[in-house]
Amino acid sequence: MKPKIRVGILFGGQSAEHEVSLQSAKNVIEALDKEKYEPILLGIDKQGKWHLQQQSEFLLNANNPKLIALNKTATNVSLTPWRTESNIQVQGNGGSQGGVDVIFPVLHGPLGEDGTVQGLLKLAHVPFVGAGVLGSAIGMDKDVMKRLLSAASILVARFIVLTSLHVQKKKSKNKNPRKFSVGKNCDGIEFEEITRLLGLPFFVKPANLGSSVGVSKVHLKDEFQKAIDEAFSFDTKILIEEFVEGRELECAVLGNEKPIASLAGEIVPTHEFYSYDAKYIDENGAKLLIPADIPERVLKRLQDLAVHAFKTLCCEGMARVDFFLSKDGKLYVNEINTIPGFTKISMYPKLWEASGVSYSELIDRLIQLAIERFEKEKNLKTNVF
């Protein structure tokens, strides 16, 4: 009998999306084909420690998204490069726990989805699911992402970037601040100037976070400073972005060199916008319409644009591309998510299910794509002579 492939499921992490990662990992582990794969559960707590988990008890309050937590009583482990058939070893308190053949990062946000873990795994010479270092880093930073999309003639909402350094300059009474520039950094932070450039309402969000964490919709001047402070509590760089009135559509992309796009889905929030609570806490926070009720020509345009964005941002493996369809028929790319949610109500697996790819088959394809990429890169020359 062919030996099972040992898959390290890496989840948790130190970002504000820690709890979302736990929910996603729970579903990935349950869907993994146990006849073909042996899951090795690697949980990262909020302090950055790695734990070897037992499937029966790796989560606390597993069915409560508000209280879900990592069980930290497990064995502390580290990953050690090991150039054998198993490319990496899990080292625990009691010595080696054996080799892992491929890593499936189910991490969301900074220190997991932003290229840091991907760089570690690449350095350790181990196959891993999803985008590489560059694609992950680009996909995490909404500022850089939108600049590259714009350069590729892909329509994005107008935005302003603000860094904590600029705010410090403002507080120090800098007498010569630069004027605001849409899509560029700015030193000032005047509500009236923002509304002149972007209109009302507008969004304020951390540049390097997902799941709508730290995002606020600003309608009035009284809401502005609170929104700025909230976003800066999660990141040192934030975006102030125009509100695009229209339908929220999403498309899933799968593949390496020849990616394919799924059917589209539509999100109809019952909250003010598709907030963290609407996504993960309130079961009635939004209606997910899959497939979206859009004309075939719009679907084709959206799918082509999703693949174009995927390639433009150097993505591999998987990504979910989020769009706004305005009332005048324009398609805006809102963002790309290189490790999309895998919870039971997440759009990425649901879109592929509607497109004829089951949850279990999707996990299998992603693992195989990771191994294929690794084998291809392994053949690259490392010597000049």
For residue 62, the domain's CATH number is 3.40.50.20
Total number of domains in the chain: 3
Please report, rounded to a whole number, the percentage of residues in the chain having pLDDT higher than 70.
83
d(CA 381, CA 107): 31
In a domain, residue 379? The reply is no
Q: Is the pTM of this model over 0.85?
A: yes
| Nearest of 55, 52, 45, 40 to residue 4 by alpha carbon | 40
In a domain, residue 385? The reply is no
Domain co-membership, 94 together with 150: no
Domain co-membership, 168 together with 229: yes
How confident is the prediction for the chain on average, in pLDDT?
86
Q: What is the pLDDT of residue 83?
A: 54
CATH code for the domain in which residue 349 is found: 3.30.470.20
In a domain, residue 382? The reply is no
In a domain, residue 380? The reply is no
| Nearest of 165, 136, 324 to residue 236 by alpha carbon | 165
Q: Grade residue 53 by pLDDT with cuts at 50, 70 and 90.
A: confident
Q: Which residue type is seen at 84? A: T
Q: What is the pLDDT of residue 165?
A: 55
Q: Which of 242, 269, 288 is the last residue of a domain?
A: 242
CATH code for the domain in which residue 232 is found: 3.30.1490.20
Domain co-membership, 201 together with 327: no
Q: Grade residue 135 by pLDDT with cuts at 50, 70 and 90.
A: very high
Q: Is the dihedral of CA 48, 349, 319, 264 positive or negative?
A: negative
Q: Grade residue 61 by pLDDT with cuts at 50, 70 and 90.
A: confident
In a domain, residue 133? The reply is no
Domain co-membership, 183 together with 121: no
In a domain, residue 302? The reply is yes
d(CA 51, CA 92): 9
pLDDT of 169 strictly over 70:
no
pLDDT of 279 strictly over 70:
no
In a domain, residue 283? The reply is yes
Q: Which two tokens stand for residue 379?
A: 């053949």
Domain co-membership, 62 together with 191: no
In the chain, the largest separation of any two C-alpha atoms, in whole Å, equals: 74
In a domain, residue 314? The reply is yes
Q: Which residues pair with 335 in a beta bridge?
A: 322
pLDDT of 170 strictly over 50:
no
Please report, rounded to a whole number, the percentage of residues in the chain having pLDDT higher than 90.
63
| Nearest of 118, 87, 79 to residue 375 by alpha carbon | 87
Q: What is the pLDDT of residue 177?
A: 33
Q: What domain range is 105 assigned to? A: 5-128
The better pLDDT of the pair 140, 178 is held by 140
Domain co-membership, 149 together with 66: no
d(CA 291, CA 135): 27
Domain co-membership, 101 together with 228: no
The better pLDDT of the pair 41, 98 is held by 41
Domain co-membership, 280 together with 147: yes
Domain co-membership, 89 together with 217: no
Q: What is the pLDDT of residue 181?
A: 39
Q: What distances in angstroms separate CA 44 from CA 108, 145, 203, 372, one per listed residue?
A: 12, 27, 31, 27
Q: What distances in angstroms separate CA 207 from CA 21, 142, 162, 164, 321, one per listed residue?
A: 19, 5, 9, 12, 17
